[in-house]
Structure 1
Amino acid sequence: MSGIYFTILDVSGSLGSIIIYILMNQRDEKKRSLKVLQDYLLALQQAPPLELLDKLDSWKPDLVDMFDRMVTMAEVWSSVRSQAIQFRVHIEGGLDAATNMRFKNEVKLARAVCAPMKEGLHRYMEGLDLYWK
């Protein structure tokens, strides 16, 4: 009877060793997984490289310069709009506008004044095309 008892203990002992081995193996896998996640979290918490920060700083828009340009554009637009209204009033006069020397001179002056703005707008639009492509 004692031989059977030792055999049962021996079988249950080897079964216990297998269970312990499986549990220890699972524990080791969980430790490795935890270590990988901790390393990943540590990498996320580190400061980004300085060259990346410099690159990001160079991408920041100069808002003051942008607003200054927008104000200049608004002033030019206001001037062009008022001239367009004046021209419309002259043109509504009919054929008198075609013979009016003052009107012809105003048109020549307006073309001369607006030429740089027209050129600048074309360059700006080309820049937008390059930006969005």
Structure 2
Amino acid sequence: MSQGFMNLKRDVEDFVIRFDAYIETTSTELQQQAVELQQVIEQIKIAIQSLDEQIVDAAIALLATAAAAETIVGLIGLAVAGTVLLVLIGERVAKTIELSDRQGELAEVNKKQEGLAKIKTEFDGLRPDIYLICDKLVLFAEIWSSVRNQSVQFQKSLQGGIDATTNMRFKKELELARKLCTPLVDGLEKYATQLVNRPSRSA
């Protein structure tokens, strides 16, 4: 049982290490995603700006060819200018949709970063309690070991049968054990009561 307390302490400490590593790795990944998405968004904005300029030029060209639409060449020019304008508008719409999608992805990444930061902050607030628990687990292991050793010693003394009740050394050891264990029992009861009555962090 004593080793069980130590194993639990080790498991808690391992969890803290793994949790910290997870937070750091995930945070780095999210930051990288945010940077990459921001770069893509900027490139899309530049492309949209370029398309806007091309659309203006194409609209001017369309108006210019409309004036010369009296001839067959003018009609062909008008059709070409109109087609170019429609293609550019289509590309502009596609880029706008892509921009919206990437901005949505960036918002989601930012939301995850905020959530991760909140979890880390809350976990950091628990660290003193975690360290205290680990310290107490060591103490429990030591107490358990001591109590177990005493009980083994008492068991050996009791194997002597009725002689154990008249053995002064056994009586003194038993009296000492009671004196030592009574504060231990009281302390553990108080500790258990404090744990049960402890206000929750969410309150």
- In the alignment, the residues of structure 2 paired with residue 72 and residue 104 of structure 1 have an alpha-carbon distance, to the nearest angstrom, of 27
Measured at CA, do residues 8 and 60 of structure 1 come closer, stay the same or move farther in structure 2, by a change above 3 Å?
same
- In the alignment, the residues of structure 2 paired with residue 58 and residue 99 of structure 1 have an alpha-carbon distance, to the nearest angstrom, of 56
- In the alignment, the residues of structure 2 paired with residue 79 and residue 39 of structure 1 have an alpha-carbon distance, to the nearest angstrom, of 57
| 2:143 counterpart residue number | 76
Q: TM-score by structure 1 length?
A: 0.57
Instruction: Check if 1:26 corresponds to 2:94.
Output: yes
Measured at CA, do residues 57 and 105 of structure 1 come closer, stay the same or move farther in structure 2, by a change above 3 Å?
same
- In the alignment, the residues of structure 1 paired with residue 138 and residue 102 of structure 2 have an alpha-carbon distance, to the nearest angstrom, of 57
Alignment gaps of 5+ in structure 1: none
Q: Within 5 Å, which residues of 2 pair with 1:1-133? A: 3-34=71-102, 44=113, 53=121, 56-61=123-128, 63=131, 66-67=134-135, 69-70=136-137, 72-124=139-191, 127=195
- In the alignment, the residues of structure 1 paired with residue 140 and residue 163 of structure 2 have an alpha-carbon distance, to the nearest angstrom, of 33
Measured after TM superposition, the shift of residue 18 of structure 1 is 1.5
Measured after TM superposition, the shift of residue 19 of structure 1 is 1.5
- In the alignment, the residues of structure 2 paired with residue 35 and residue 98 of structure 1 have an alpha-carbon distance, to the nearest angstrom, of 83
Measured after TM superposition, the shift of residue 92 of structure 1 is 0.6
Measured after TM superposition, the shift of residue 34 of structure 1 is 4.5
- In the alignment, the residues of structure 2 paired with residue 95 and residue 110 of structure 1 have an alpha-carbon distance, to the nearest angstrom, of 20
Q: TM-score by structure 2 length?
A: 0.42
RMSD of aligned C-alpha atoms? 4.2
Same amino acid, percent of matched pairs: 28
SS in 2 for 1:59: helix
Alignment gaps of 5+ in structure 2: 1-69
Measured after TM superposition, the shift of residue 22 of structure 1 is 1.0
Measured at CA, do residues 90 and 26 of structure 1 come closer, stay the same or move farther in structure 2, by a change above 3 Å?
same
Measured after TM superposition, the shift of residue 21 of structure 1 is 1.4
Higher RCO (CA-CA < 8 Å; seq separation 6+): 2
Q: Which is higher, the Rg of structure 1 or of structure 2?
A: 1
Q: Report which stretch shifted further, 35-44 or 15-24.
A: 35-44
Measured at CA, do residues 10 and 60 of structure 1 come closer, stay the same or move farther in structure 2, by a change above 3 Å?
same
